[in-house]
Amino acid sequence: MKEVILSADGDSILYLVPVLVAENLEEYCLRFCSDWLWNSPDAERYRVGNSVCYTEKDFIEYLNTYVFPDCESKMIKNLGWTDLGQNLPKEYMKHPYFNF
């Protein structure tokens, strides 16, 4: 497991996710929001007309339910508003970051 930082135009949240996700964070995030949300019957609840509505918590639920059900991702800490990752605390500057 490895730490990443996720946000959805709000607070930056530190999560613990599988190493494979952390090392390929953008790929996993884009697969979630560009493919799964639009095409999976399981994602119907996120669709609102011609758009989708979700947060980073929904991405974590997707990882835990559909991608890595045997390796639970979880929230560690809310880092607060970091101006979309521009003002992260020094100890988190090198963490993988994705804003949905």
**Residue 90 belongs to a domain:** no
**Residue 95 belongs to a domain:** no
Task: Determine the pLDDT at residue 36.
Answer: 98
**Residue 18 belongs to a domain:** yes
**Residue 99 belongs to a domain:** no
**Residue 43 belongs to a domain:** yes
- What is the CB neighbour count within 10 angstroms for residue 90? 6
> Which residue type occupies 23?
E
Task: Determine the pLDDT at residue 12.
Answer: 98
Chunked into runs of 10 residues, the chain (100 residues) has average pLDDT values of 97 98 98 97 96 97 98 98 94 97
Instruction: Judge whether 60 and 75 are in contact, CB under 8 Å.
Output: yes
Task: Determine the pLDDT at residue 8.
Answer: 96
Number of structural domains the chain divides into: 1
Tens of pLDDT, residue by residue over 54-63, are 999 999 999 9
**Residue 42 belongs to a domain:** yes
Q: What domain range is 35 assigned to?
A: 2-80
Non-local (6+) Cβ contacts of 99 within 8 A are 6, 7, 8, 9, 84, 85
